[in-house]
Amino acid sequence: MSNKTKTYAILGLGIFGSTISKTLSDYNYEVIAVDSDITCVDRVAEYVTNAVQADITDIEQLRAIGIQDCDVAVVATGSHLEDSIMAIMNLKELGVPYILAKAKNKKYMQIFEKIGADRVIRPEKEMGERVAKQLVSKNIVDLIDIDSEYSVVEIIAPEIWVGKPLKDLNLRAKYGINILGIRKKPKEHLSISPNADYVIELDDRLLVIADNTVFKKFDKNFN
């Protein structure tokens, strides 16, 4: 295993697991993708480092694949409680440093946390919250919660900011907002760490990080 690149194990190759596998591979990470269904394995084989048909509840099969050498493992079988529990316990036994598990409901989430998953996510719930936050603000384009306190958000620059240099807006001191980057159009290259003299233009998109309370009141504060 390379010292420079993390290796990820994805256990369960439904839509969620397959998407993670492909995305990590696109970023040139080493990915071991595992599922008991050969159809799912074949679907990801062309872009992952190693695609294997195996039983994720069988620790010896996981050991033979080399899962114990991975830095991160994702248990992506969320709706199959027993399989997920066994997979998490196997990963703990194999000494995988970080385990992320998908859960379909709060009950599953609590169980996975108790048996040792480092992080448990509920994709539909989290995406629903993310979409709702976008819908209630005309300025928020995209939002990623980092934790319960902070989020990274892409916003359309409020009109009252247009024509003013960043140093005059003083967003960090006034609102606790830190600007990570600016892009002129959707999907365009993000300019990282803009100069304090940069003057905000109409329709600029700003990637910012701030306390969640700032974004809950975004439209009221800045429009």
CATH of the domain at 176: 3.30.70.1450
Query: What integer pLDDT is reported at residue 218 of this predicted model?
Result: 60
Q: Is residue 93 part of a domain?
A: yes
User: How confident is the model at residue 216, as a pLDDT?
Assistant: 66
Residues 88 and 165 in one domain: no
Do residues 97 and 190 share a domain?
A: no
Choose the final residue of a domain: 98, 121, 144: 121
Distance in angstroms (rounded) separating the CA atoms of residues 170 and 121: 35
Of the candidates 121, 150, 176, which is a domain's last residue? 121
On whether both 41 and 94 belong to a single domain, the answer is yes
Q: Domain boundary at 121, 140, 158, which?
A: 121
Q: Cα-Cα-Cα-Cα dihedral of 162, 167, 170, 176, to 10°?
A: 100
Are residues 146 and 102 part of one domain?
Answer: no
Q: Say whether both 112 and 134 belong to one domain.
A: no
Q: What is the CATH number of the domain that holds 89?
A: 3.40.50.720
Query: For the chain, how many residues are written?
Result: 223
Residue 3 is predicted with a pLDDT of 41
Q: What's the pLDDT at 183?
A: 86
Domain count of the fold of the chain = 2
Residue 33 in domain: yes
Per-residue pLDDT of the chain (223 residues; tens, 9 = 90+): 444 578 999 999 999 999 999 999 988 899 999 999 999 999 999 999 999 999 999 999 999 999 999 999 999 986 789 999 999 999 999 999 999 999 989 899 999 999 999 999 988 777 776 666 655 555 655 656 556 677 788 888 888 899 999 999 988 888 888 888 898 877 677 788 788 899 999 888 888 887 877 766 665 555 5
38 domain-assigned: yes
19 lies in the same domain as 105: yes
Q: Give me the pLDDT at residue 1, please.
A: 40
The answer on 137 and 85 residing in a single domain is: no
- Contact present, 169 and 200 (Cβ < 8 Å): yes
Judge if 110 and 155 occupy the same domain.
Answer: no
Is the same domain home to 116 and 34?
yes
Query: Is the pTM of the predicted complex or chain greater than 0.75?
Result: no
Q: Quick one: 205 and 144 in the same domain?
A: yes
* Enclosing domain of residue 176: 126-222
Q: Is residue 24 a part of any domain in this protein? A: yes
